[in-house]
Every structure is written in structure tokens, then in C-alpha cells.
């Protein structure tokens, strides 16, 4: 009832192939974007922006990058944290060596460095699959951790091995307050998400999906596995690298290799799996689930005025969070994005049962 496309006819291919073919979706997304760009900065508190929305957006972007590789191309990666680290450290190094370089260029160049590293570690994927590949990307994680800890050049010979960014500006505007940072991140996330969405809808996205679904058949019909796999690694690492640069520059401000360790890789992989493999929207659901639910859980006892000790609360939080993950995956193995589309299907008929 609320969600029917009766009377919405398409008379051209362009109209038929748009991202949101249904008017209600278009309106909803427009409203959501308007709210995100205008409403949130007006309403949200500092805490909400800094501690929740900024990390949520940046990790969503990282999850989008990872989803290209895992969800669309079927190449399991456990090295996402490493590619984030490459993006962050490379961007930082460009900033230190060439102080006049604009922030956005630093971030994009950081992404490009991550692309190179991603492609190099993607080469084994031409020979091996599945779990074996996961182990190869795990090697990337350990190697990168080691490199940033032990090679002083990468941290500009910082005595403690910790790097930190100066006050940021972009396009002559400061990026310092919570609102400025939020808007900067939001703009970048929107741009790159749109970019990836269009890639996966196009020819190259179809190649990735063909490789994912059956690579032998794909190569029989003329899809080049090497090209498809390496472009997936390249695009994925680029987006993840940009997210890493944002994480370091905007969210943390100063960081050590620990910020991008194996836990980060797992965290992102869980986001993609819970959100929904092969779904852009799912990345945002997954990131919201992984970033916001623990914070919500840790705030609940305080809100209800329950005198819970922090350690007890923290243990309960872990248990509840684990249980939620299991429940969701049992209820819907295809992730939250699938639940969303089922809900939309139901809304088309609502309130009638047929």
C-alpha cells in the first residue's frame, strides 16, 4: 500500500536503469541525505557526531570497500586493517614531506598507495581461492603491521612510533569542529559510495559477480579472471585506503599501528557479513550494527539507573552482542540488507495478506 510502484512507468532505458527505480525510494533517499547534511548538524550533540556518527560513516566506507572484494568478487580478505593502515600512513607521509599538499589530495594519494599494495597482495588470488587466499591476505596484515612498527621512515623517525596530524583544513575551510569533520566525512562517503554503486552496476561489477559465482564458467564466456580479480582488489583497497586515511586524520588525529591491527580487519569482515554480502546498503547496516550497538548497550544500564559495575556491564555487553550476531545470522544468513528488502516486499502488500 505504502510502497507500490503502480503507475510508475518507464519509457527509456535510462529511467529503467537508475539506482532507485521506485519513486518512494528516491524520495526517501533524498530526504535522508537532506537530513544527514542539514538536519543532523543542526540537531546532533558533539558526542553524537564525534563518538558515533563519524566512526560509523568512516567504517561504513571501509565496509563498502571490503564488500567490493568479498561480497561482489568473492575473494575473502583478512587484510582490510592493513590496507586501511597503508592509506592512513601514506596520506600522512605525503602531508609531512609536502606540507603544501591539500588534505583531499593527501587522502586520495593515500588511497592510491593502498591500491598498489592491495594489487600486490591480490596477485596470489590468481592462483589460490577461499581459505588459502584468506591466509595470504592475513600475511598482508602482519607484514604491514610489522612495517609501520619497524621502519622508522614511515613514521618520519618519530621517537615513539606514533604519528599525529596538524590542524586540518580543506578548500581553505577549517576541518576542526565536530560538525566540520562530520560534513567532510559525509561528503566523501557519499561520493565514494555512489562511485562504487555505479561500478557494481556496470560491466565491471558483472565481471566480479561472475567470478564470484563460478570462475571457471566466467572465464569460458570470456571474462578475464586476472583482470576481474585484480581490479576488485584495486578498487577495494583504494576505498579502504581512503577510509583508513579518514580514520587516522579525522577520527583519531594521532595513531599507532595498533589502530589498524587484525581486530580491525575482523571487525570489518563482520560488518560485511552481518550487513549483507554483495549489498552496498548492507555495509551501512553492518557498520551501524557493529559501531552503534555496543555503545547503546554500554549506555543502557546508566540510562535505566541500574547500578551495574562497568566490568559486569562490559561482559554483559559482549554476551548480548554475540547473541545478537548469532540470532541475526540464523534468522537471515544474507544479512540485514536482506531483512530490509523482505520488509519492503511486505510493505508492497501491506495491509493485505495476499
Partner 1 sequence: MEMKRLNLKRAGAALALGAALGGVTLPALADEQFVPLLVYRTGSFAPLGIPWADGKLDYLKLVNERDGGINGVKITYEECETAYATDKGVECYERLKSHGPTGASGFDSQSTGITFAVTDKAPLDKVPVETVGYGLSQAADGSVFQWNFPLLGTYWTAADVMIQDIAKKEGGMDKLKGKKIALVYHDSPYGKEPIQLLQKRAAANGFELQLYPVTAPGVEQKSTWLQIRQARPAYVLLWSAGIMTPTAIREAQASGYPRDKMYAIWWAGSEGDVKDLGDVAKGYNAITIHNSGEQGKVAQDLKKYVYDKGQGSDRNNTTLGTIAHTRGMIISMLQVEAIRTAQEKYGKGKSMTPEQVRWGFENLDLTQEKLDKLGFGGIVRPFKTSCANHLGADWARIVQWDGKQFKVASDWYQADPNMVGPLVKAEAAKYAKDKNITPKNCEG
Which residues contribute to the site for partner 1 (CB under 8 A)? 39, 42-48, 50-52, 55, 149-150, 159-162, 164-167, 176-177, 251-259, 292, 295-296, 298-300, 302-303, 309-311, 313-315
- Nearest distance from C-beta of residue 277 to partner 1, angstroms: 25
Torsional class of 254: left (φ above 0), alpha (ψ -120 to 50), beta (otherwise): beta
User: What are the distances in angstroms from CA 161 to CA 146, 158, 166, 256, 295?
Assistant: 12, 5, 16, 7, 30
Q: Checking phi first, is residue 239 left (phi over 0); if not, alpha (psi -120 to 50) or beta?
A: alpha
Task: Kindly state the smallest distance separating residue 253's Cβ from partner 1, in Å.
Answer: 4
Closest to 207 measured CA to CA, from 181, 234, 226, 184: 226
Helix, coil or strand: residue 268: helix
d(C-alpha 92, C-alpha 114), whole Å: 13
Q: Which one, of 330, 321, 340, 293, lies nearest residue 28 by Cα?
A: 340
Shortest separation between residue 213's beta carbon and partner 1, angstroms: 36
Distances (CA, A) of 46 to 119, 179, 188: 39, 8, 20
For residue 41, the minimal CB distance to partner 1 (Å) is: 10
CB closer to partner 1, 195 vs 293: 293
Residue with smaller CB distance to partner 1, 7 or 305? 305
- The count of C-alpha atoms lying within 13 angstroms of the C-alpha of 78, restricted to the half-sphere facing its C-beta, is 16
Cell triple for residue 244? 583508513
Following DSSP, what letter does each residue of 119-182 receive, concatenated?
HHHHGGGGT--HHHHHHHHHHHHHHHHHHHHH-GGGGTT-TTS-EE----EETTEE--SHHHHH
Q: Based on CB atoms, which residue is closest to partner 1, 99 or 222?
A: 99
Q: Do residues 250 and 53 lie in contact, with contact meaning Cβ atoms separated by under 8 Å? A: no
Cα Dmax for the chain: 69
∠314-240-215 over CA atoms, to 5°? 110
Whether 121 contacts 233, CB under 8 Å: yes
Its sign, for the CA torsion 248, 253, 255, 261, is: negative
- Cα separation, 62 vs 258, in Å, equals 17
Q: Which CB, 263 or 327, lies closer to partner 1?
A: 263
Amino acid at each position: 500500500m505504502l510502497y507500490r510502484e503502480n503507475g510508475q512507468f518507464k519509457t527509456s532505458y535510462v529511467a529503467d536503469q537508475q539506482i532507485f527505480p521506485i519513486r518512494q525510494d528516491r524520495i526517501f533517499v533524498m530526504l535522508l541525505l537532506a537530513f544527514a547534511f542539514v538536519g543532523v548538524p543542526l540537531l546532533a550533540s558533539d558526542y553524537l557526531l564525534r563518538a558515533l556518527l563519524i566512526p560509523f560513516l568512516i567504517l561504513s566506507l571501509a565496509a563498502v570497500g571490503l564488500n567490493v572484494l568479498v561480497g561482489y568478487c568473492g575473494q575473502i580478505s583478512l587484510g582490510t586493517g592493513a590496507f586501511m593502515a597503508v592509506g592512513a600512513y601514506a596520506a600522512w607521509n605525503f602531508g609531512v614531506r609536502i606540507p603544501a599538499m591539500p588534505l583531499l589530495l593527501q587522502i586520495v594519494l593515500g588511497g592510491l598507495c593502498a591500491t598498489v599494495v592491495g594489487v600486490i597482495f591480490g596477485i596470489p588470488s590468481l592462483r589460490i581461492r577461499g581459505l588459502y587466499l584468506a591466509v595470504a591476505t592475513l600475511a598482508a596484515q602482519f607484514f604491514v603491521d610489522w612495517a609501520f612498527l619497524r621502519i622508522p621512515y614511515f613514521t618520519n623517525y618519530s621517537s615513539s612510533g606514533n604519528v599525529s596530524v596538524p590542524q586540518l583544513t580543506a578548500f581553505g575551510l577549517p576541518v576542526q569542529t565536530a560538525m566540520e569533520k562530520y560534513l567532510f566525512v559525509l561528503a566523501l562517503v557519499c561520493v565514494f559510495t555512489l562511485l562504487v554503486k555505479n561500478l557494481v552496476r556496470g560491466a565491471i561489477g558483472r565481471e566480479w559477480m561472475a567470478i564470484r559465482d563460478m570462475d571457471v564458467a566466467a572465464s569460458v564466456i570470456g571474462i578475464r579472471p586476472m583482470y576481474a580479480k585484480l581490479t576488485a582488489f584495486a578498487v577495494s583497497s583504494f576505498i579502504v585506503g581512503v577510509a583508513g586515511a579518514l580514520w587516522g586524520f579525522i577520527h583519531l588525529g594521532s595513531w599507532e599501528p595498533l589502530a589498524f591491527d587484525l581486530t580491525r580487519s575482523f571487525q570489518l569482515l563482520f560488518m560485511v557479513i552481518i550487513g549483507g554480502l554483495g549489498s552496498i546498503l548492507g555495509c551501512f547496516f553492518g557498520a551501524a550494527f557493529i559501531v552503534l550497538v555496543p555503545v547503546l548497550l554500554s549506555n543502557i544500564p546508566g540510562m535505566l539507573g541500574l547500578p551495574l559495575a562497568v566490568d559486569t556491564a562490559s561482559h554483559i555487553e559482549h554476551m548480548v552482542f554475540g547473541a545478537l550476531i548469532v540470532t541475526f545470522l540464523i534468522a537471515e544468513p544474507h544479512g540485514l540488507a536482506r531483512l530490509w528488502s523482505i520488509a519492503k516486499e511486505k510493505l508492497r502488500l501491506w495491509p493485505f495478506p495476499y
